[in-house]
A and B are shown apart, each in its own frame.
Chain A
Amino acid sequence: MAKILKMKNITKEFPGVKALDNVNFEVEEGEIHCLVGENGAGKSTLMKVLSGVYPYGNYSGDIIFNDKVQKFRNIKDSEKIKIAIIYQEFALFPQLSIYENIFIGHEFHKNNFIDWNKTIHKTEEFLKMVHLDVHPQTKVVDIGVGKQQLVEIAKALSKDVKLLILDEPTAALNENESENLMDLLRELKKRGVTSILISHKLKEVIDVADKVTILRDGQTITTLNKEDNTIKYNAMVKHMVGREITDVFPKREKITRGDIALEVKDLNAFSPRLDRFLVKDANFKVHQGEVVGIAGLMGAGRTELALSVFGNPLNYDVKGKVLKDNQPLRFDRPKKLIDAGVAYVSEDRKGKGLILKQNVKNNITLANLRSISRNYFINRNKEILGAEAYRKNLNIRTPSIEQKVLNLSGGNQQKVSLSKWLFVNPNVLILDEPTRGIDVGAKYEIYTIINDLVAKGLAIVLISSELPEILGMADRIYVMNKGTIQGELSAKEANQEKIMELATA
């Protein structure tokens, strides 16, 4: 069979990081080719290069499609030669009908006016093709996520797609919908459509893939082939995590853990907007003087779990119990948790953690102004002293505490975020991806701080996508997948393969 796509020596750099390092990737016409790898392995970046999101010149290497070197300037260029990409976040207009969505930008015309009748008629054909039994005039907002996905695929088919790229299409689907989608991919294959499928769910990969290419740390590791019977679960996991652990973790004094500080029982979080459970029957606990890791891949429900516990600011329907020091706790507002001595350092430090427009000092003191106030009046001198202490202790590199947080580097912003939550004197600290996007030196500093805090008896919940980090720091590890806690591992028994098995089960 002919190679429909060759990506040769693709290298793409972001400031400070090599996201893709000399990647080679080949796809044959009419196959279903899966692309797997850990978070941050470079899968999505590679697909963005392929679809023209990163234009030619922005990366080095060649894209050869249909035996011709392609130089895309934007997504339109890739669409022109019948490549379509479907992201996790759909590019649909929720308030428009299905037919408007499918034919937006390429409507049928008659005498310079849009021929809506023909458009609707054609839409019915494409909906039949993807087995979607919904009226074309239905608004997209009124159908579920699974059906929206089918609309996206119908849209791609309406443009006579040759190469269909799906970025984690089943992440938001239930099992039934996922199976239907896989069936559809097989059907499309018979029609001659080639698919590239990015997925974390290795079972469905085994089920559907003709070939599997594994990426790790921006490099192609290997390509497995159905014909040689090499697409095996263990092999994939081994290749995904097979790196040597090179990060260094500071040594922690051996301390005996204390009583249970925080316990979560039978927690369920349902999102009415997404119409599915983000967290299901979660149970976990953390002792004083213990670091508990929560591992899992993107979308496993870890942040949702933390937010549901921490006062549920996104207004999910939450059921379950939270116990602080064995006492039941109301957890319907963040304030209740803060007052009880629980702090949550958000994974999204710019969006949910910090006020970028304000200075370091105001950010640090925000969640506990009462401690530096009398009768609601802030004692500014106390405030300065308090903020200065954290600047020194956590080594926040800033010209002064009057500096706007906006002007700080990622690592220093993270330290401000951490300071802010240490300023509330918590005894339970939930850290959500505390080292995301910061450099190695700052990472090491954060790890040292974590160790100091545990030594003081704090209970720490460490949510992280980086397996070495979880393995290097946690005393006990919970692994999440599809909103449920799939298993618990002690530091001794845990290794990358075991975690990945639970995370992709």
Chain B
Amino acid sequence: MTYIKNYFKELRVLLKENIRDYGMFIALGIIMIIFAITSGGLFLGSRNISNLLNQTGYIGVLSVGMTLVIIIRHIDLSVGYVSGFIGALSAILIVQYNLPALIAIFLVTIVGIFIGLWHGFLVAYMKLPAFVATLAGMFIFRGAIQQTLRGTGTIIIDNDLYRAISNGYIPDIASYPNLHVLTLILGIVGVLIYIIFEIRNHRIKKSYDFEVLTKPMLISKIAFIGGLVMLLSVSMATHRGMPWTMVIVFTVVLIYHIMMNNTILGRNIYAVGGNPEAAELSGISVKKITLFVFASMGFLSALSGIMFASRLQSATVTAGRLFELEAIAGAFVGGVSATGGIGKVTGSLIGAFVMASLTSGMNLMGVGSAVQFIVKGAVLVIAVIFDVRTRKEGK
């Protein structure tokens, strides 16, 4: 009995001390349970989950980039129309110039990076407030989309590779009816890697005499997260497998996560956000970091534009509208501090996923878009209040 009592005591302390880290997962869990009930299980169905992942994708990558921008105390309002413009550009290149899809994608990604560099240049070297520089970008690229599509209107992109980005699934290595084997294997491998990683981390921390979780708690944590990953992969495996979108988003988040946590560049970005003057005195060029962060945002805007155009299988004049706000909301819900210096790309992705879940769940419930906007606004406010209040405790 005392064993169980201690276990729950530790769990309580753990949750309380790390409420900022776990809070969002808890919120996500609650949202999913509520929608699962109200939709009679439909929400957690493999078809809907798959759909949800594809929906999160193009906003998720924007949220990742926006995380960096907000960390260094700036904002990028142009990302929506930049992504729309890039989608349109790629459609023109493929449909009118008959370029192979991969080459078109490569070219427009370069264009995206240059657009980001332009905004970074305005902010870092011309000293324009980011709000103004990217607001101008918002106008410019909205116009650029219309200009690009002026002769054709909506362009249908009839290209298998391009379409697969947001609609296709990874190929399978064996054929079983109603089961995607590779997805299942990837899920299992993923869980195994996670377990090894956690145990290794635990050992290293212990060797430095750092505070670590007790064994039962560690096992619970591994079981919980591993279980979730397994559930997700089974869900996907019984549908049509892992979507390419998920592969892309996972790769982006992994690269950015490693960059932010394990490289000098990432540390410098956090330093510039935490205290630009101290960063400059520490030999970090605030200008160069700013330039890099906006260039990265441009790159991810391009990626988002390609994903969205692929999803619609067409380029339209309205593509990208309000994406910037969805991305910013995702980042804030995901715990990025509005005063800069604090934030995680993984958090922002979860934030974007929370917002997409709300849309998806309310759609299933048949809630009108008017109410949906109000609910999403309220969630944003609540998330940031939660963030501010837990931050005050100095943790």
Decide if A378 touches B281 in the complex (CB within 8 Å): no
Of the candidates B271, B275, B394, which one forms a contact with A404 in the assembled complex, judged by CB atoms under 8 Å apart?
Answer: B394
Question: CB distance B208 to A313 under 8 Å?
Answer: no
A494: CB under 8 A from chain B?
Answer: no
Q: For residues 263 through 320 of chain B, which have their beta carbon under 8 Å from a beta carbon of chain A?
A: 263-265, 267-268, 270-271, 274-275, 277-285
Chain B residue numbers with a CB within 8 Å of A407 are: 394
Within 8 Å by CB of B274, from A339, A351, A355, A402, lies: A355
Q: A358 contacts which chain B residues (CB < 8 A)? A: 270-271, 274, 341
Q: Flag if B265 contacts A376 (CB, 8 Å).
A: yes
Pair B285/A378 contact, Cβ less than 8 Å = no
Known contacts A404-B394, A406-B394; decide if A346 and B263 are in contact (CB<8 Å).
Answer: no
A362 at interface (Cβ–Cβ under 8 A)?
Answer: yes
Residue in A310, A313, A355, A407 with the greatest tally of chain B CB atoms within 10 Å: A355
Residues from chain A with a CB closer than 8 A to the CB of B284 are 335, 366
Bound-state Cα–Cα, A335 to B264, Å: 15
A355 — nearest CB in chain B belongs to which residue? B274
Residues of A contacting B394 in the complex (Cβ-Cβ under 8 angstroms): 404, 406-407
Residues of chain A contacted by B3 (CB below 8 angstroms)? none
Q: Are A373 and B283 in contact (CB under 8 A)?
A: no
A362–B265 touching, CB < 8 Å: no
CA–CA, A310 to B274, complex, Å? 21
B204 to chain A, nearest CB (A): 7
- Once the chains are docked, how many angstroms separate the CA of A370 from the CA of B268? 12
Say yes or no: is B210 at the interface (Cβ < 8 Å to chain A). yes
Give the chain B neighbours of A338 by CB distance below 8 A: 282-283
Any A CB within 8 A of the CB of B170? no
Residues on B with beta carbons closer than 8 Å to the beta carbon of A356: 274-275
* Pair A370/B275 contact, Cβ less than 8 Å: no
In the complex, are the beta carbons of A378 and B282 less than 8 A apart? Answer: no
Cα–Cα, bound, A294→B122 (Å): 40
Q: Which residues of A contact B270 (CB under 8 A)?
A: 355, 358, 362
Q: Is the CB of B264 within 8 A of A369?
A: yes
B262 close to chain A: CB less than 8 A: yes
Q: Check: B222 CB closer than 8 A to any chain A CB.
A: no
A308 to chain B, nearest CB (A): 13
Does A381 have its Cβ within 8 Å of any Cβ on chain B?
yes
B342 interface contact, C-beta 8 A: yes
A334 contacts partner chain B, Cβ-Cβ < 8 Å: yes
What 0/1 readout, one digit per residue, does chain A (393-436) give for beta carbons within 8 Å of chain B? 00000001010101100000000000010000000000000000
Interface status of A344 (Cβ within 8 A of chain B):
yes
Among B204, B211, B285, B341, which residue has its beta carbon within 8 angstroms of that of A355?
A: B341
Closest chain B CB from A351 CB (angstroms)? 6
Chain A nearest CB, measured from B77 CB (Å): 25
A400 engages B271 (CB within 8 Å): no
Query: Which residues of A are found within 8 Å of B283, using beta-carbon distances?
Result: 333-335, 338-339, 367
Q: In the bound complex, how far is the Cα of B208 from the Cα of A380, in angstroms?
A: 12
Query: Which listed residue, B210, B267, B277, B395, touches A313 by the CB 8 Å rule?
Result: B277
Taking a contact as CB atoms closer than 8 A, the residue among A333, A339, A353, A369 that contacts B278 in the complex is A353
Say whether B280 contacts A366, CB under 8 Å.
no
Return the contact of B267 from the options A351, A357, A378 (Cβ within 8 A).
A378
Our pick among A366, A404, A406 for the contact of B282 (Cβ within 8 Å) is A366
Residues of A within 8 A of B263 (CB): 373, 376-378
With a cutoff of 8 Å between Cβ atoms, the chain B residues found around residue A150 in the complex are none
Binary CB contact string for chain A from 342 to 366 against chain B (1 if under 8 A, 0 otherwise): 0010100001111111100010011
> Do the beta carbons of B204 and A381 come within 8 Å of each other?
yes
User: Contacts A353-B278, A355-B274 given: A384-B285 contact, CB under 8 Å?
Assistant: no
Alpha-carbon gap, A335 to B289, bound state (A): 14
Tell me whether A352 and B281 are in contact (CB under 8 A).
yes
Task: Report the bound CA distance from A355 to B270 in whole Å.
Answer: 9
Chain B residues with CB under 8 Å of A381's CB are 204
* A residues in contact with B267, CB < 8 Å: 362, 365-366, 369, 378
The answer to whether B262 touches A380, judged by C-beta atoms less than 8 angstroms apart, is yes
Q: How far is the CA of A354 from the CA of B342 in the complex (A)?
A: 15
Residues of B within 8 A of A406 (CB): 394
* A367/B282 contact (C-beta < 8 A), A354-B275, A355-B274, A356-B275 known: yes
Give the residues in chain B near A370, CB-CB below 8 Å.
264
Task: Name the CB-closest residue of B to A383.
Answer: B267
Taking CB atoms, residues of chain A closer than 8 Å to B282 are 334, 338, 366-367, 420
How far does the Cβ of B247 sit from chain A's closest Cβ, in whole Å? 24
Hey, which chain B residues are within 8 Å of A346, CB to CB? 278, 281
Q: Are B265 and A352 in contact (CB under 8 A)?
A: no
Distance (whole angstroms) from the CB of B209 to the closest CB of chain A: 9
Residues of A within 8 A of B278 (CB): 346, 351-355, 366
| A128-167 with Cβ < 8 A to chain B | none
**A502→B394 CA distance, assembly (Å):** 46
Interchain CB contact under 8 A, A400 and B210: yes
CB contacts (< 8 Å) of A367 on chain B: these are 282-283
Contacts of A334 in B (CB 8 A): 280-283
Q: Which of A241-279 contact B (CB under 8 A)?
A: none
CB distance from B260 to the nearest CB of A (A): 11
**Bitwise interface map of B from 234 to 269 toward A, beta carbon under 8 Å scored 1, else 0:** 000000000000000000000000000011110110
Output the least CB separation between A447 and chain B (Å): 24
CA distance A356 to B271 in the complex (A): 10
Q: Which residues of A contact B208 (CB under 8 A)?
A: 384, 388
B275 contact from A313, A333, A355, Cβ within 8 A: A355
Question: Would you call A357 and B281 a contact (CB within 8 A)?
Answer: no
Q: Which residues of B332-364 have CB atoms within 8 Å of chain A's CB atoms?
A: 341-342
Which residues of chain B come closer than 8 Å to A313, judged between CB atoms? 277, 280-281
A406 to B342 Cα, complex, angstroms: 14
Q: Are the C-beta atoms of A344 and B281 separated by less than 8 Å?
A: yes
A373–B282 Cα gap in the complex (Å)?
Answer: 17
Residues of the B chain whose Cβ atoms lie less than 8 Å from the Cβ of A311? 281
**CA–CA, A370 to B263, complex, Å?**
10
Given contacts A376-B264, A381-B204, A406-B394, contact A351 B281 (CB under 8 A): no
Between A and B, 12 residue pairs with Cβ closer than 8 Å are A334-B280, A344-B281, A351-B277, A357-B341, A366-B284, A367-B282, A373-B263, A376-B264, A376-B265, A377-B262, A378-B263, A384-B208
Closest 9 CB pairs of A and B: A355-B274, A335-B283, A367-B282, A338-B283, A355-B275, A369-B264, A352-B277, A357-B341, A357-B274
